[in-house]
Amino acid sequence: MSNSPDEPTVQIFAEGAWLQGAMITAILYGVVIVLSIMCWRTLWPRIQRSRDIGYRKNLFFFCYVTSLFMIGTVYVVFNSQMTQLGFINNRFYPGGPSAYEEATSSAPINTAFVLSSWCADLLMIWRCVVVYRDTRGHFIVIILGCVMFVATVVTGTLWLVIVSRPEQATSGWMSFSFLFPYLSVDLAINIFISLLTVMRLLFHRRRISTVLSPAHGVIYASFAAIIVESASIYSICSLLYLIPYALNSTIAYAFMQILGEAQIIAPLLIIYRVAEGKGWTTHSAPVNSATSDTIRMRRMTYPHSSSTSTHPTPLNVEISFHTETTRDDSIKMPKSPYPEYITDHSTDKAGTDIPVATIV
């Protein structure tokens, strides 16, 4: 007697994809918890020092991490609830749990999914703008980033409107007709922004390595590795969903659930690694390992106080080193095990000086 359900193989495979996707999503949420705690532990001491440099940036990152953590929590909680409703409460739904998951729409899941995507894109665009802020095309990058972010907001909002319509109840949650182009646009923007940022950082590395030494450009290679790594997390997960969906494979159900947490891990990893000053891999040389015996300075100028002077007066910096010759009384010789003698002088009746040794 067989214990297998009397269902087609395709339906069983689809149900397994839904269930396994929910399990992997819960595992990725554990990664989100760990990364959030690590970011909080890194940023909170800096926030407590109100006079520290970058106080506002650290406070913004702290609130940003908290928001992502809350979004990820909402996503995994309601995704688990949907799994329970499909596989337990409505197990006899026509077509099985897979059909129930496809036909049911969850507003919290959809909202958390879109918000996490917007937050990840906003961080990537912001970092790209910061990298290009000292270039002539700074405003072009700002305008381009704004247009891209507006594109993701518009497509994401339209998808939320489509899945929330009552007439879409038969295919609300899995309204792939607009989810596919939305994720395609978001993926293209993410990859383009990442490549744009990496190109600028690598240009900086080449320029500094030429002027100073190759060791000084290692930090830019590390930052570029961070961007590549963080973008690849979301990009790979998006491709793992888009390709099976284009091939009409039910395994896309699993990867679509994973996307909600994968696009939260990417910005958390950026914030933590940048705050810690670590590179992408252990093979990347840290910045502190690049030492130099010379100090390079540029000539600094300040305007002369006289209004008749038209040339700035150079400010010369001189560094001198002096050897310390003062006595350090903190270092004392150990006491000798042999007796010490103190020589005293006395005179006899004839007035002759006689040395006398006394044991201390």
pLDDT tens, position by position, 177-218: 667 788 888 888 888 888 888 887 777 777 777 776 666 556
Helices (H) and strands (E) in the chain, counts: 8, 4
Q: How many domains does the structure of the chain reveal?
A: 1
pLDDT in tens, 12-64: 888 888 889 899 999 999 999 999 999 999 888 877 776 666 677 888 889 99
- pTM for this structure? 0.69
pLDDT, position 187: 84
| Mean pLDDT, rounded, for 135-144 | 84
Q: Is residue 158 part of a domain?
A: yes
- Report if residue 118 sits inside a domain: yes
Instruction: Quote the radius of gyration of the chain (alpha carbons, Å).
Output: 34
The answer, yes or no, to whether residue 68 has pLDDT greater than 80, is yes
Domain span at residue 272? 9-287
pLDDT at 292 over 50: no
Question: Half-sphere exposure (CA, 13 Å, Cβ side) for 127?
Answer: 28
Is 320 within a domain?
no
In a domain? residue 212: yes
Q: Which of 163, 160, 153 is nearest to 118 (CA)?
A: 153
Q: How wide is the angle at C-alpha 19 spanned by C-alphas 18 and 20, nearest 5°?
A: 95
Amino acid at 352: T
The predicted pLDDT at position 294 comes to: 40
| Predicted pLDDT at 348 | 55
SS3 content of the chain, % helix, strand, coil (to 5): 65, 5, 30
Sign of CA dihedral 87, 93, 98, 104: negative
* Nearest residue to 245 (alpha-carbon basis) of 182, 315, 203: 182
Classify residue 166: in a domain, yes or no.
yes
Contacts of 90 (CB under 8 A, 6+ apart): 97, 100
Residue 87 belongs to a domain: yes
- Structural domain contains residue 82: yes
**pLDDT digit string, tens, across residues 241-260:** 888 888 888 888 888 889 88
Q: What's the pLDDT tens digit per position in 233-245?
A: 888 888 888 888 8
Residue 335 is assigned to a structural domain of this protein? no
* Residue 178, domain CATH: 1.20.1070
Is the distance from CB of 198 to CB of 231 less than 8 angstroms? no
* 204 vs 184: CA distance, rounded Å: 31
